[in-house]
């Protein structure tokens, strides 16, 4: 059975109290997850310690990790407001890199994305590199550690719109990404819901889902995990 990753991207949402409520509802649901599924929750930086603590009691029965939504391209020093891979490593094992919202709103180009990927890999973190087109996958400069990354294919038209890509096209893109980058896990993201997640994860080249809006509600997210 293939390994399936289900990653929650909370984006710019949730206060500490709201995160605590989500974590309590998620933990109290007595969620059953087979070993073939790996769950990652990516909150804002401010919530990393809270989420790490909140998922701790689940770790002996399900594979669940906390991830960051971004990382600095710098390692250390005079960069006010930045958070480095080394600092993230205190809480997380996974980092989203190059999400299209960062490429668009914060002018992240391929050099920035490559630097961020290098920083995460140097600190033993797993980068989940988000790409919306094949050129973004072709531009990745990964060196020897190329197989230590996860890629999420997220077409821009599908993000937050309620209109996902077709499973067939997403699968074709995942296949092409693997041809470019090697046999790495490739996830699909963009309007994933409890109703459509299986259509994607059942495809031969898709290894999971990156879930935005539908991950904000713990019950909806649990249904996605269950249905995936």
Catalytic residues: 99, 154
Q: Kindly identify the residues of this chain, within the stretch 209-228, that bind ligand PGA according to CB under 6 A.
A: 210-214
3-state secondary structure of 55: helix
- At CA 61, angle to CA 55 and CA 62, rounded to 5? 65
What count of Cα atoms within 13 Å lies in the side-chain half-sphere of residue 208? Answer: 23
In the complex, minimum distance from the CB of residue 191 to ligand PGA, in angstroms, rounded to a whole number: 4
The reply to whether 128 sits near ligand PGA by the rule CB under 6 A is no
> Residue 76 CB, nearest distance to ligand PGA (Å)?
28
CA angle 5, 87, 111 (to 5 degrees): 70
25 vs 113: CA distance, rounded Å: 35
Any bridge partners for residue 189, and if so which?
A: 210
C-beta of 98 vs 190, nearer to ligand PGA: 190
Closest CB to ligand PGA among 99 and 205?
99
Closest approach of Cβ 193 to ligand PGA, in Å?
A: 8
Enumerate residues 2-41 that contact ligand PGA by CB under 6 A: 9
By beta-carbon proximity to ligand PGA, the closer residue of 8 and 88 is 8
Binding positions for ligand PGA, 133-172, rule CB under 6 A: 154, 159-160
Q: Which residues, other chains included, contact 131 with Cβ-Cβ below 8 Å and sequence gap of 6+?
A: 98, 137, 151, 152, 153, 154, 177
Of 82-90, 131-139, 177-185, 186-194, which part binds ligand PGA (CB under 6 A)? 186-194
Nearest Cα residue to 186 out of 157, 225, 222, 147: 147
Name the site residues for ligand PGA (rule: CB under 6 A). 9, 154, 159-160, 189-192, 210-214
């Amino acid at each position: 059975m293939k390994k399936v990753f289900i990653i929650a991207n909370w984006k710019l949402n949730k206060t500490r109290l709201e995160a605590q409520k989500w974590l309590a509802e998620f933990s109290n649901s007595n969620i059953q997850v087979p070993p073939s599924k790996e769950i990652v929750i990516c909150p804002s930086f401010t919530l990393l310690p809270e989420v790490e603590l909140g998922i701790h009691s689940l770790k002996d029965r399900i594979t669940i990790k906390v991830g960051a939504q971004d990382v600095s391209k710098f390692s250390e020093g005079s960069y006010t407001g930045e958070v480095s891979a080394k600092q993230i490593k205190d809480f997380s094992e996974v980092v989203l890199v190059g999400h299209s919202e960062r490429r668009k709103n914060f002018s992240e180009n391929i050099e920035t994305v490559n630097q961020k990927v290098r920083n995460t890999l140097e600190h033993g973190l797993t980068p989940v590199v988000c790409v919306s087109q094949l050129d973004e996958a072709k531009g990745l400069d990964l060196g020897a550690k190329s197989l230590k990354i996860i890629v999420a294919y997220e077409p821009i038209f599908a993000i937050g719109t309620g209109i996902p890509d077709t499973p067939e096209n997403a699968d074709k893109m995942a296949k092409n990404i693997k041809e470019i980058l090697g046999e790495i896990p490739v996830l699909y993201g963009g309007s994933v819901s409890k109703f459509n997640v299986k259509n994607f994860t059942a495809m031969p080249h898709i290894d999971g889902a990156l879930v935005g809006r539908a991950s904000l509600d713990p019950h909806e997210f649990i249904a996605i995990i269950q249905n995936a």
